[in-house]
A = this chain, B = another copy of it.
Amino acid sequence: MNETTKPEKVSIVLHSGDMDKLYSALIIANGALAMGMEASIFFTFWGLQRLRKDASWAMPAAGLDNGPLSKMHMLGLGKKMIEWRMKKANVRSLEQMMTDFVELGGKVMACDMTMEIMGIKQEDLREDLIGEYCGVGTFIQDARESTVSLFI
């Protein structure tokens, strides 16, 4: 394999279920896609929970309730304030960013081992977004072909 055939790709394992980490993952991945690179996200462990149909992405109101809220409050910022600032800064919602990711050609991989352990079925997940149900081997193959690999 030489450099000219090596795809410029960003490959991310999303292990965390924290909303702020999902945000970071999507901002990096969509940034890479916008720069003409490929991008893939392997949703595993707590990260996979974010692909459940019943997971709420309605940021910041609902999302901030599941974790980052306390940190935000530590900074002295209320929910309404964050919501207003994000709108003002043209930051897209998680739902929009997930849709952008898929539409821009990003690949969503759902970890099948996590599904088995946690008893999650394909119909419980956002099948409209998922490109592949697979194991860690698929992620590793992806990562070794990538320029940038991140564990989030």
Binding site for B on A (CB under 8 A): 1-3, 8, 10, 13, 15, 17, 20-21, 23-24, 27-28, 31-32, 34-35, 37, 44-46, 49, 71, 75, 77, 82, 85-86, 88-89, 91, 113, 116-119, 135-137, 139-141, 143-144, 146-152
The CB with the most chain B CB atoms within 10 A, among A75, A86, A88, is that of A75
| B144 contacts A144, C-beta separation under 8 Å | no
* Residues of chain B with a CB closer than 8 A to A32's CB: 140
Given contacts A1-B3, A91-B117, 9 further A-B contacts (CB under 8 A): A8-B144, A10-B143, A15-B152, A24-B44, A24-B151, A28-B140, A75-B118, A89-B113, A143-B148
Copies of this protein in the assembly total 3
| B147 contacts A150, C-beta separation under 8 Å | no
List 6 A–B pairs whose Cβ atoms lie within 8 Å, in order of A's numbering: A3-B3, A13-B150, A31-B139, A37-B140, A49-B75, A146-B148
Nearest B residue to A143 via CB reads B148
Nearest B residue to A86 via CB reads B117
Give chain B nearest CB distance to A33 CB in angstroms.
10
* Residues of chain B with a CB closer than 8 A to A13's CB: 24, 28, 150
